[in-house]
Copies of this chain bind each other. A is one copy, B any other.
């Protein structure tokens, strides 16, 4: 496709079409973002001025905790209130053309006829900035095209996924009843990032113990940010507790906006994204410097012992690295 070779112009045109509500254009724009490099850059520039209206909710927790079902219930409830909502499913483990897309298709069926819902997976395997760059960028696109709610659902609890969820405006940590689940969440670093706890599958035995465990850990941790994370019990499969969860999300949003904490959180997200982009750009430089005639000369010189590897590398890295 020839348009792929002019990312800047193509991105502007696609973004314009996405802004009119054209879903295929939006999907394509998000593919650019997920792929990184120049197209992602062009998209970011094109949407940036229109952003700043969405509330981003991160939903994380161990695999199997019921995050997808919970997210689907949240989507339905937000739609009941008449607001539009987008979902970014973050799944670095499944290949972009495989599991993630298939997952979208299955889940999209329920909302397929609803223009107010947009669901998309990000896999981000191909480029160096990775999820830390692409998730905030994708969320900004959805913001710019007019989704007031953007839900970021992580599949696992890897370090990067926890970071991505932690930099949402509101971070929801999902656990299940059962001895030790709360402790596992704490070990994964989820206690510190949770604004709202959900004990999902709350029709199972052990729910009281898990709530008590979380409560105890929260008591020990204190709540220095002026917000004590509420613990909401849900049964996502039948919709129980979803109203309480929506109330908790709105309460947290209200607190963040009135306390000014929302700004700090948003800036942490931007900082993370900037660092990821800088790292990506410098890695591209490193790859370019590790090839070519001068590189070959320096390799030969090191091999001939007329120069040592660190001196040679310093020349390759250039003034930037001094």
Contact = CB atoms under 8 A, between A and B. Distances in A.
Contacts of A289: 278
A157 interface: no
B282 A320 contact: yes
Contact of A320 (B285, B299, B305): B285
Contact of A286 (B275, B299, B318): B275
Interface in A287-322: 289-290, 295, 298-300, 302-303, 305, 308-314, 316-321
A298 B313 CA distance: 30
A271 B295 CA distance: 8
A321 B284 contact: yes
A54 B273 CA distance: 46
A112 interface: no
A277 to B, nearest CB: 4
Given A271-B299, A299-B271, A278 B313 contact: yes
A321 B281 contact: yes
A77 interface: no
A212 interface: no
A227 to B, nearest CB: 21
A244 interface: no
- For A278, A290, A319, the residue with the greatest tally of chain B CB atoms inside 10 Å of its CB is A278
Max count, chain B CB within 10 A of own CB: residue among A302, A311, A313: A313
A270 B282 contact: no
Interface residues of A, number: 48
Given A285-B321, A286-B275, A300 B44 contact: no
A90 to B, nearest CB: 19
Interface stretch (A45-53, A174-182, A192-200): A45-53
A267 interface: yes
A266 interface: yes
A271 B284 contact: no
A281 B312 CA distance: 12
B303 A274 contact: no
Nearest to A137: B309
A283 interface: yes
Contacts of A263: 303
Contact of A278 (B270, B290, B303, B308): B290
Interface of A: 40-41, 44-45, 48-49, 51-52, 137, 263, 266-267, 270-271, 273-275, 277-279, 281-286, 289-290, 295, 298-300, 302-303, 305, 308-314, 316-321
The 7 closest A-B pairs by CB, nearest first: A320-B320, A277-B313, A275-B290, A281-B321, A48-B308, A41-B310, A282-B282
11 contacts: A48-B305, A48-B309, A49-B305, A137-B309, A273-B309, A274-B290, A278-B286, A278-B289, A281-B317, A282-B282, A282-B285
